[in-house]
Amino acid sequence: MRVWHKLATIGIALALATTSLLFVPVTPLYSTPSRQAENAPRRRVLYINSYHRGYKFSDDITQGIEAVLKEPGQNVDLLVEYMDTKRLDSPEYMEELYQLYKVKYGTLKPDLVISSDDAALNFLFQYANELFPDVPVVFSGANYFDVTRLAGFPNFTGVSEIADAQGTLDLALALHPQTRQIVVVNDTSVTGQRVHERLSTLQASYPEITFIYLEDISMDNLRQQLNQLSSDSLVLLTIFFRDNAGGFFEYDVFTPLVSESSTVPVYGLWDFSLGYGIVGGKLTSGATEGARAAQLAVRILNGESPQDIPVVQEPAARYMFDYEQLQRWNIAESALPGDSFVLNKPFSFFEQYAQLVWIVGASFLVLATAITILVFNILRRRRAEVQLNQSLSELQESRVLLEERVEERTEALRQRAALLEAAAEVSRTTTEIVDLEVLLPTVVDLVQQRFDLYYVGLFLLDESGELAVLRAGTGEAGHEMMAQGWELRVGGQSMIGRCVATGKADIQLDVGEASVRFDNPHLPETRSEMALPLRVRGEIIGAMTIQSHRVAAFEQDDIRTMQTVADQIAAVISNARLFTQVQEGLAAERRAYGDLTHAAWQQLLQSAPNLGYLSDRRATRPAGNVWRPEMQSALDTGKIVAGESGAALAIPLRVREQVVGVIDGRKKDGTAWLPEEITLLQSLVDQLNVAVESARLYEESQRRAMRERLVAEVSGRLRASRDVEAVLQATIRELGQVLGATATIRMTPLSADEPVASASAGSASAPNASPLYPTAL
């Protein structure tokens, strides 16, 4: 039998050698590693797992190790060996594993070895110096490790797996204060023995509690005893992989069997039993233990000595619970520690999104209430759903209504902006036009186009103020009415007549319902109409009619905007009229001044008919009778005239648009005048025009000043005389001297019997003079 057993052991070992060796290249998970990571040497790490693939706790340890070693920059190749000691753990099997590893890793030497659980650690204590001399070893999952075992193994360090049995017991007793008996379900494996030792040391801390150990027992017997427990008992399940009948049970098998058989709550120490029937406890996680061991391995690979890294003795357990078991044993979730993890807990929208619910506000209050009720009372779920749907429906209706209001307001603002823009354009365009005949048609066309109207017409009062005359209208109807001389009586039955008479806007949103309105045959499609007064400085000068083919086409904003446009149009019309009046006055002044200037030059030229000068190589002298054909042509046409050969050029002299003379130029070499020479000569002639007019005005002012001075001197001498005869003689004498002619003064007596005195310039007065009154000069 020993031979057959040995052969079977060797066969299994060989099978493990071919199937259980995993090569896991651990490389950074990013696509462009740094140059330092690319150049760093790769390290080989051997991980020896005490158990087999599929055993949850050791798989969790493997997961934790890989998570750390896969971090960027580690450059680690991970080799995994499974010892499968849950099924085989004889000394012969261990010897065969030693021989197998010796062959496999004789040349494939690892840089570091990681072990999990006690079986692998014990194997390394026995064979590490032969298999892996001077190779650092990091262990994990070593239950309640005794550091004295490291004597003689300086390359060993790791994490002591300490299940927090006391934390679980304290919690269980707090949740079940009536408990008087703790039943411990445990196996006799190496791990089970360590747990038993730990619990034995804790018993003294619970003097009122009786501890019963169900260990070396068959599964059937175990289930029988669990089914007979009293209500003041609790079950503490550690591990039970093997019973005394040789049966092997995975965690997902023995945990449900124990939980289903027990009449009281079952608590545990490791998280692999969570979800399979235990209530929970302060549980140790394989992933956490593996990650802690891998972190120590990284430190050693980075250069630290294992001797400088003490064994980690602190537990890393966490409160974990199964929601379904809490409900089964009526344990309130509020009684659990605050940082507890609850498995299989139903999803709670309120707890998950509480902050969002409060931010949304009161409109979601019904929904939050329904979710809370759903968590605590499943029977009221349907009613809560109805309330939720109703709230969502109301919210949707409110949102749609709000969107409609926003859209309406936005459209109103858009229309208002368009109206203001159109009004600004009308104002900007019309202010640039000063001709009334051009202005009025432009105004009505702009208003019709920019405000999308059916018809726009502009009426102005006639001189009598009794008729409003159509001065501009849009479309064919406007042209026809203009051709007919369309006019409406002020104060009559028409809207325009009433508007001009009252000075107020007349608005009909539906002309079909108007009691009084003039029905215009030229505009049959009119449905809405406004008549707006044209007012300037308090005076009504006319009215503007605005018509649409839509009923109720005008709103308050439209009416205000149109009245503003009408006021602007009235101001523009008034300015155009004033501009026309000013232009006419200026034209009259220019004509009057031109006539005066023309008469003055006529008088001057008549007094000097041969006024003119000629300049040649010899001298400058009077022109005499020189008058060439091109000079006559320039005088007649008022334009520059060239002679036949082009060498002669006649340029008219102008004063106030009156041609008063001609300059005739001839080039000495007989060549034609160039354009730039003509331009220069014209510029000189323009200056001459100003100069001769200035000289004439100066002479005229001098003559006027001389006359005024002579009048003043004569008046002074006359005032110096004291009697009538002396005054008369002085007067006739001064007139004769000033005028250079003979002057006579005769006096008419007051009656026919009185003599008449007379005096002549240069003669003495009559001897029988008497007071006389002058009759003629």
Grouping H, G, I as helix, E, B as strand and the rest as coil, residue 55 is coil
- pLDDT for residue 350: 64
Residues whose CB is less than 8 angstroms from the CB of residue 421 and which lie 6 or more positions away in sequence, other chains included:
none
CB 218 within 8 A of CB 261: no
CB 284 within 8 A of CB 163: yes
- pLDDT for residue 738: 66
Q: pLDDT digit string (tens) for 567-616?
A: 888 888 888 877 877 877 777 776 666 666 767 776 666 666 667 777 76
CB 546 within 8 A of CB 447: yes
Nearest CA to 58 out of 17, 101, 19, 115 is that of 115
Nearest CA to 458 out of 389, 512, 534 is that of 534
Alpha helix stretches (DSSP H) within 550-658: 556-607, 629-637
Q: pLDDT digit string (tens) for 697-729?
A: 887 788 788 878 877 877 777 777 667 777 777
Averaged confidence pLDDT in the chain: 81
Question: With 90 as the cut, is the pLDDT of residue 159 above it?
Answer: yes
Please state at what angle helix 251-261 crosses helix 219-226, rounded to 10 degrees: 30
pTM here is 0.42
The CA–CA distances, whole Å, from 733 to 199, 713, 729, 762 equal 164, 13, 6, 6
| Burial state string for 526-540 with b = 16 or more CB within 10 A and e = fewer than 16 | bbbbbbbbbbbeeeb
Q: pLDDT digit string (tens) for 274-312?
A: 999 999 999 998 899 999 999 999 999 999 999 999 999
- pLDDT for residue 670: 73
Greatest mean pLDDT range, 206-220, 393-407, 415-429, 455-469: 206-220
Question: With 90 as the cut, is the pLDDT of residue 125 above it?
Answer: yes
- The average pLDDT across 204-210 equals 94
CB 287 within 8 A of CB 116: no
Question: With 90 as the cut, is the pLDDT of residue 194 above it?
Answer: no
Q: pLDDT digit string (tens) for 517-545?
A: 667 888 888 888 889 999 888 888 899 99
Cβ neighbours, 10 Å, residue 691:
10
- pLDDT for residue 21: 39
773-776 sheet: strands from edge to edge: 758-760, 744-748, 773-776
Share of residues in the chain with pLDDT > 70 (%): 83
**Would you place residue 634 in the very low, low, confident or very high pLDDT band (cuts 50, 70, 90)?**
confident
Question: β-strands 487-489, 467-473: how paired?
Answer: antiparallel
Residues whose CB is less than 8 angstroms from the CB of residue 419 and which lie 6 or more positions away in sequence, other chains included:
451, 557, 558, 561
Length of the chain: 777
Grouping H, G, I as helix, E, B as strand and the rest as coil, residue 344 is coil
CB 186 within 8 A of CB 270: no
Grouping H, G, I as helix, E, B as strand and the rest as coil, residue 182 is strand
- pLDDT for residue 28: 37
**Would you place residue 432 in the very low, low, confident or very high pLDDT band (cuts 50, 70, 90)?**
low
CB 433 within 8 A of CB 442: yes
**Would you place residue 739 in the very low, low, confident or very high pLDDT band (cuts 50, 70, 90)?**
low
CB 484 within 8 A of CB 497: no
Q: pLDDT digit string (tens) for 73-117?
A: 888 999 999 999 988 889 999 999 999 999 999 888 999 999 998
Q: pLDDT digit string (tens) for 351-392?
A: 666 678 778 877 767 777 878 777 778 888 888 888 888 888
Rounded-to-integer distance, Cα 640 and Cα 631, Å: 9
Residues whose CB is less than 8 angstroms from the CB of residue 112 and which lie 6 or more positions away in sequence, other chains included:
43, 45, 46, 135, 136, 137, 138, 297, 300, 301
DSSP string, 716-739: HHHHH--SHHHHHHHHHHHHHHHH
Q: pLDDT digit string (tens) for 436-464?
A: 788 888 888 888 888 888 899 999 988 88
**Would you place residue 771 in the very low, low, confident or very high pLDDT band (cuts 50, 70, 90)?**
very low
Question: With 60 as the cut, is the pLDDT of residue 30 above it?
Answer: no
The CA–CA distances, whole Å, from 418 to 345, 529, 561 equal 61, 20, 11
DSSP string, 478-529: HHHHHHTT-EEETTSSSHHHHHHHHTS-EEES-GGG-SS----TT-TT--EE
**Would you place residue 56 in the very low, low, confident or very high pLDDT band (cuts 50, 70, 90)?**
confident
Query: How many helices (H) and strands (E) would you count in the chain?
Result: 22, 27
- The average pLDDT across 143-156 equals 90
Rounded-to-integer distance, Cα 707 and Cα 710, Å: 5
Question: With 70 as the cut, is the pLDDT of residue 772 above it?
Answer: no
Grouping H, G, I as helix, E, B as strand and the rest as coil, residue 205 is helix
Q: Which two tokens stand for residue 668?
A: 């000495």
Grouping H, G, I as helix, E, B as strand and the rest as coil, residue 710 is helix
Phi-psi region of 744 (alpha: psi -120 to 50; beta: other; left: phi over 0): beta
- The average pLDDT across 40-47 equals 88
CB 185 within 8 A of CB 236: yes
Please state at what angle helix 117-131 crosses helix 190-202, rounded to 10 degrees: 120
- pLDDT for residue 233: 95
**Would you place residue 761 in the very low, low, confident or very high pLDDT band (cuts 50, 70, 90)?**
very low
